[in-house]
Structure 1
């Protein structure tokens, strides 16, 4: 599969260097540009049009406003905010501005990787620590429904569910997704927990309920 083109903008040089190394080592991404200011976000979107741009929310300008402008400049670019900004309100502002993902810097590297992959396919990803609170307070109803759906099943989990629903066993699923059976087992445990089921049959039945976005009031 082609690599996901990613740009990174953060005003902390060590953080930026670490992100470049992390994504370059993963084998799934191609880092096409880096920057250290809000203005760099706009310049990169205009010159590189990356599929996903990961930006720090705490920089030298109104980054949320810049996100909205960046999306207008490069409509096919998805924005993931990776930030130390705490609390629900910064996440709501970022998502309302057009960001597709919101990941706290205290999260695991796996969460950031998943957020980027989710963004690539148009799914919303929010740090799980306070995802439910953020979803409940989002002002945009369609975005709220989309985020709620993404909270239930992320990209990898949906891939697994599709294979389960066509009758694939664990070994076949691991081969299809190019992961180890140990890694698959960890995903399965997360799936069972999220779907509140006890076994594979119940998981398949439950997953079908999430084909449509949940109604939220």
Structure 2
């Protein structure tokens, strides 16, 4: 079985040498290219199409954009961020850009190896000691997004959403709010647009995230 090709983009030559030595010691990897600025991420992917790429964040250029651009060219390349940044926001930005791993410098070498292995199998790896902070930040952002969506709903739309969560059909909602069926359908169309969903069931699922204490009375009636 041929060695997996790996590229490294980092502006610290000694660190690149150290990673290269680790790859050689682990076996099964072949270092095919190196770079030291964000633009190199894109150019290396375009030229070499490595299986994995290890990149730092602290380099000249926009590394996050470079990751996203590189993956448009070669989505099969698995990018691992190897950095000193302990900012959860940086980790989230990197993962949102398409990185398959976020490993902190100073971690045991085994962490980088595990990240490469996880990426190869389609998984995402974050340094374990740092992962809790990343998950917490993701949850906070999700809550903020849901609050922002909730704040965009009108009083009437909130009424309809809460009745949906009780398992009410459109006709039942119309009677309860003294509106026509056609008006309720219009509100449903607006809700789908605001919640960025495609159908009634997805409106309900999105509503559950907006109003977590409420539950659906019956699932079988959601499609009516």
Class of the TM-score when normalised by the shorter of the 2 chains = 0.5 to 0.7
State the superposition RMSD in angstroms. 1.9
Count how many residue pairs are aligned between Structure 1 and Structure 2.
143
* Counterpart check, 1:115 vs 2:115: yes
* Counterpart check, 1:76 vs 2:81: no
Which residue of structure 1 lines up, in the alignment, with residue 57 of structure 2? Answer: 57
Matches within 5 A, 1:127-146: 127-138=127-138
Q: CA deviation at 1:130?
A: 1.7
* Counterpart check, 1:67 vs 2:56: no
Larger Rg, first or second structure (1 or 2): 2
Q: CA deviation at 1:2?
A: 3.3
Cα distance per residue 1:79-129 (max 9 Å; x no partner) = 100001122111111111110000000111000011011111111000111
Superposition TM-score, scaled by structure 1 size? 0.62
List runs of 5+ in structure 2 lacking aligned partners: 143-208, 213-224
**1-side partners of 2:12 and 2:127: how far apart?**
21
Q: CA deviation at 1:138?
A: 2.9
Matches within 5 A, 1:49-198: 49-138=49-138
Q: CA deviation at 1:137?
A: 2.9
**2-side partners of 1:114 and 1:86: how far apart?**
19
Contact 1:96 1:138 in 2 (8 A): no
Partner of 2:128: helix, strand, or coil? coil
Which residue of structure 2 lines up, in the alignment, with residue 28 of structure 1? Answer: 28
Cα distance per residue 1:47-91 (max 9 Å; x no partner) = 110111000011111101110001001111011000011221111
**Runs of 4+ that moved beyond 6 A:** none
Q: CA deviation at 1:26?
A: 1.1
**1-side partners of 2:11 and 2:111: how far apart?**
21
